Amino acid sequence: MTSFCDAHNHLQDDRFAGRQAELVAAARAVGVARMVVNGSCEEDWPQVAALAQEHPDLVVPSFGYHPWYVGECTARWRDTLVEWLDRTPGAVIGEIGLDRWKPGLTYDAQEEVFVAQLRLAAERNLAASLHCLQAWGRLHDLLREQPRPARGFVLHSYGGPAEMVAPLAKLGAHFSFPGYFMHERKARQREAFKAVPLDRLLIETDAPDQPLPDPANAHPLTDPRTGKALNHPANLPAVYRFVAELRGVPLAELAARVEENFRRLFPK
């Protein structure tokens, strides 16, 4: 069976309502071999660590402060982050970043928290998973100005312009394609991924977010509380098949290349 690596998801998310064991079994059954599970704030870091302990061969634990939750930082947030990194084998940093898109979200303190985490990744040479919405120019400036992890970093669900791919790659960026970009309205984002060098390409689900188009969704899932559609981590092979067609590369060849890229960033 072809092996697949999920560069970014949130398996700990409470919208999964305690079904994580079921989701993991389904993902393994379709060939998902590794997945980076990203924390978003201090509150969910223990859940990320628990999943990594329960599934050490599958889960790469990632701890970080997402820009949406920067307002919830405690006075000891950085010390707490360091503690989780120290106590969790194979841990990396994420999800971190900048966001000028989310309605009502203040930009205050986002850069300070982002830079602190990026520097920590650089000091320890840990891969970092970066979120960016409507702040690509500023992100590029900060990445040029600040220390970066030598092994590189991930631009999760890269939605920036195609012309920024080369300068970002020069700084160490890897670009992760989510299943949400399979939707027809995401043509611009798909074009940008045609410019991504194959040795910098990654693939993700971002589960439970960014659901696939209905025809490609072999694992429909809903939030039991709201009825809203959720993305299932077992949808990863469908994203690989789409990217293989998009790039004109046989699936097995693409999977091998993406796994090589993944292991360079996440060697555990």
Q: What is the pLDDT of residues 26-69, one digit of tens each?
A: 999 999 999 999 999 999 999 999 999 999 999 999 999 999 99
Range of the domain at 116: 4-265
Q: In the structure, what pLDDT confidence band is assigned to residue 153 with cuts at 50, 70 and 90?
A: very high
Which residues lie across from 97 on neighbouring strands?
A: 131
d(CA 124, CA 85): 10
Residue 224 is part of a domain; what is its CATH number? 3.20.20.140
Provide the pairing of β-strand 173-178 with 201-204: parallel
1 pLDDT higher than 90:
no
Of the chain, the end-to-end C-alpha distance in Å amounts to 21
Kindly report the CA angle at 191 between 188 and 193, in degrees rounded to 5? 115
Length of the chain counted residue by residue: 268
268 pLDDT higher than 80:
no
Provide the pairing of β-strand 229-230 with 221-222: antiparallel
Mean pLDDT of 134-156: 98
- pLDDT one-digit tens code per residue, 172-191: 999 999 999 999 999 999 99
d(CA 233, CA 265): 20
d(CA 221, CA 205): 13
Q: Which two tokens stand for residue 8?
A: 């970014």
Q: What is the pTM of this model?
A: 0.97
Domain count, the chain: 1
Amino acid found at 135: A
How many contiguous H segments (helices) and E segments (strands) does the chain have? 9, 10
